[in-house]
Amino acid sequence: MKILFCHDGSENAQKALDKTLDLFKLAKPEVVLLMVVEGARDASMENEEIFEKQRSEGHDFLMKTARYITGKGFDVDVILANGDARKMIIETSRNKQPDIMVVSKRGGGILDNMVLGSVSAYVVRHAKCPVLVLHT
Per-residue pLDDT 10s for the chain (136 aa) are: 999 999 999 898 999 999 999 999 999 999 999 999 987 666 677 778 888 898 999 999 999 999 999 999 999 999 999 999 999 999 999 999 999 999 987 655 544 444 444 888 899 999 999 999 988 7
Q: At residue 53, what are phi and psi to the nearest 5 degrees? A: -65, -45
Q: What pLDDT was estimated at residue 51?
A: 84
pLDDT for 108 equals 52
Q: Are 100 and 130 in contact (CB under 8 A)?
A: yes
Residue 40, pLDDT score: 65
Helix count and strand count (H, E) for the chain: 5, 5
Distance spanning both ends of the chain, measured CA to CA:
24
Supply the pLDDT for residue 43: 66
